[in-house]
Amino acid sequence: MSVFSEKEIEYLRSQQLGRLATVDANGELHVMPVGFHYDETDDTIVIGGPTLRQTRKYRDATERGRVAFVVDDVPPPWQPRGIEVRGQARAADRGGKLIHPDFPAACLRITPHKVVSWGVDGPRDRDDPRQRRARSVRDASA
């Protein structure tokens, strides 16, 4: 069973760009836009790029292991929606999944520890914070 709901998976598959946040050895934060793919075989977010291994995000993610990843958009008329994934990052090959023709075999795989989503189930009442869907992997049924 996935830690993502069916609507969250549908949303992830409809998007191509997210933002990856990492932290370096000095505690400095770094956020960059990245291409990604949701891999249902192991319930991970896969991030790749033509020069991924040479990037700060790759180095920080593989050395520290902790990352946050956000995918969001705002369809009209101002209906914000998105998913935040906090989790463990590890270096891996792309597992045969072609994310982009220029992506090398190396990639980052994010295993979710916490997932927060908003608006992916349809428009929500902005005054009702209970409509924000947040849960840890240990409590994926929430």
20: left (phi over 0), alpha (psi -120 to 50) or beta: beta
Mean pLDDT over the full length of the chain:
85
Where residue 40 falls (left for φ over 0; alpha for ψ -120 to 50; beta otherwise) is alpha
CA 41 – CA 133 distance, rounded (Å): 23
Domain boundaries, the chain: 6-123
Topology of the domain covering 6-123: Pnp Oxidase; Chain A (2.30.110)
Query: Rounded distance, CA 113 to CA 125, Å?
Result: 27
| C-beta of residue 42 within 8 angstroms of C-beta of residue 109 | yes
> HSE-up of 33 (CA within 13 Å, CB side)?
4
Question: Tens digit of pLDDT for each residue in 30-65?
Answer: 999 999 999 998 999 999 877 888 999 999 999 999
Please indicate whether residue 94 or residue 27 has the higher confidence score (pLDDT).
Answer: 27
Q: Encoding tokens for residue 70?
A: 């956000």
pTM over 0.85: no
* Helical (H) or strand (E) element with 20: strand 17-23
